[in-house]
A and B are shown apart, each in its own frame.
Chain A
Amino acid sequence: MSIVQARGLTKRYPGVTALDNVDLDLPAGRVGLVGANGAGKTTLFRLLLGLSRPDAGTIDVFGIPVADDPIAVRSRIGYMPEHDCLPLDQTAADVVATFGELGGLPVRAARQRASEVLDLVGLDEARFRPVGGFSTGMRQRTKLAQAIVADPKLVLLDEPTAGLDPSGREEMLALVARLATFGIAVVLATHLLDDVARVCDHVVMLDAGRLVTDAPTTSLLKQTGAVTVDVGPAAVPALTVALTARGLLVATADLGGSLEVTVSTDADLDAIRDVVADLGLPLHRLTNRLTSLDDVFVHRPPAPLPPAAPAEAS
């Protein structure tokens, strides 16, 4: 069942069409909304929240038309913007409790839940410190905490890993992955395709305001008929020669110690195993090579050219 349904959704700003006749059916769970900067991701969030009106089309959230009752929709949604948006002179506990109250929680429940969600995002010991003294990672966690404190049914996350170092990014993705297990549907907007491939089970891809893909992640990450063989950098040349001698097509060789070998039958896999064993190489990895979201994005249909300006009458 769709939690978000859009039909013919169009939003124009002066000089640019942010969303162009987009049809969407977003399921519950973790949905990745991917696209380059300016693809229309933030515009879609603003339309979902009822903070902006579409020029054409409709959008329903949990079966509620946003245009008819934006307040009811907002009471079911948590929102984590991409940009800085926290009051810097307040403590994390006060910020999260305040937004809990604004989300409709009674005062005492808001304080209690603020404590709980700050604990959940790993800020339990820092909750009485002013947000202005927080690192980027801590601010992102605070933003996530305020988004979920009022127990939303759907949370919109706009670039939650932006500005985070690798470990911070891992922790944020782990938190996002956990949200669905709490019964909170997630729409994760990002331009980092790897984040979506790792966390989301459904992908919506936008390009210049047009819908490119709206499909389960698994349907996009198909087998390519190749396997990745990882034997370490030093063994790559010898293995390449040996596999070629056995009549196997080595598609790609990189300097990271792995090869991509085209296979068509199980016998080809047996041959790879035997060659590696004959050469006495350590086999670190032998996996099917799947298409990546990058492949989908790179091979997307080209965006139509904007209409030419009318020629001036001479």
Chain B
Amino acid sequence: MSTGGAVYDRGYRPYDGILGGRRASATALYRTSLRRAIGLRRPWRQKVMPFVLLAIAVVPAVVNVGVGYLTRDTPARDFSFITYREYVGVSSALLLFVALVAPDLMCPDRRQRVLSLIFARPLTGVDYVLAKVGAIFTCVFAFSFLPQVVLYVGQMLVSDGALDYLRHNTAVLWQVPVAVALLALFYAVLGVAVASLSGRRIVAGATLLGITLVSSSVSAIIVESSRGHGPDVPGHPAALLNILALPLYVRDLVFLGHLGDRSPLSGVTGGGALAVACYLAVVGAGIAVLLVRYRSAEL
């Protein structure tokens, strides 16, 4: 029996598998960005924030289901704390999430000059943009969609008949994912585009929040000073200046086919079309900024 030890230099083993190409690399970047966004393989402090925000986003659904359960045998059983339409984009937690996570995904790559390593891989600037936007999109979609699932399943279970509930609410089965996807796309493109303009996370996050705050304030001031008060008073085109409201106008079009009655844009001629045009303009501008920014970084 041998009693002595041995030290082996394991050296280097060539990889004998098949390397993925551009698609595999882009998918890997998306996967890595998604992991970073939700704090996986990161210190616990980085994990807390996404899941706290998810919990906050789920609270209205839980409250609504709870109220439904408590009032199930009373005349108030049809009371709804929040509707599926209102639940899309109602939580400021999503904006806060994007303002924190988008800069965290984008700024270190530029500030720490990681881009030179990333673009030395079989990737293009377009792949980089798609991976980053895709990661934020996935998070925002999940954080918006999961509470809706909780709401739907909960409402169905506390209703008098689950099948009847399902039959009477089939439309939301496509309306919710479509509206949530449009909201997530808007937030993701806006957040990543703003974050791409700075190497500092704090500057990028503050800029995003500042843009939304200023645009909503300016819009509100103009709209309120230009129209009177009352339920039948028409809205004002200046409502389109509120960047954060654009996906909500589009949401109304998905759910209702027209703008909501209490929308600050309701009553404006062609308001729905204008809202869609502004939504597309913001998303298009964001994508253009990103492509220019990372096309030049690649070359």
Contact = CB atoms under 8 A, between A and B. Distances in A.
Interface of A: 49, 51-53, 71-72, 74-75, 77-79, 81, 83-90, 94, 98-99, 101-107, 109, 113, 116-117, 119-120, 146, 148, 150-151, 178, 182-183
B19 A150 contact: yes
B202 to A, nearest CB: 15
Nearest to B22: A71
B299 A52 contact: yes
A109 B15 contact: yes
B24 interface: yes
A118 to B, nearest CB: 12
A151 B122 CA distance: 14
A74 B10 contact: no
A75 B114 contact: no
Contacts of B28: 98, 101-102, 104, 107
A50 B298 CA distance: 9
A140 to B, nearest CB: 14
Interface in B107-158: 108-109, 112-114, 116-124
B113 A83 contact: yes
A51 B120 contact: yes
A61 to B, nearest CB: 13
A182 B122 contact: no
B228 interface: no
Interface of B: 10-15, 17, 19-22, 24-25, 28-29, 31-32, 41-42, 108-109, 112-114, 116-124, 298-299
Contacts of B25: 101-104
Given A75-B19, A85-B114, A102 B12 contact: no
A102 B217 CA distance: 43
A131 to B, nearest CB: 10
Contacts of B299: 51-53
B156 to A, nearest CB: 37
A258 to B, nearest CB: 36
Contacts of A117: 12
18 contacts: A51-B299, A71-B122, A74-B122, A83-B113, A85-B114, A87-B108, A98-B28, A102-B29, A104-B122, A105-B17, A105-B19, A106-B17, A113-B15, A116-B13, A117-B12, A150-B19, A151-B14, A182-B12
B20 A106 contact: yes
A102 B15 contact: no
A148 to B, nearest CB: 8
A90 to B, nearest CB: 8
Q: Which 10 A-B pairs have the closest CB atoms?
A: A104-B19, A101-B28, A151-B15, A79-B120, A104-B20, A182-B12, A102-B121, A75-B122, A71-B122, A85-B113
Contacts of A146: 117
A72 B112 CA distance: 26
B10 A99 contact: no
Contacts of A182: 11-12, 14
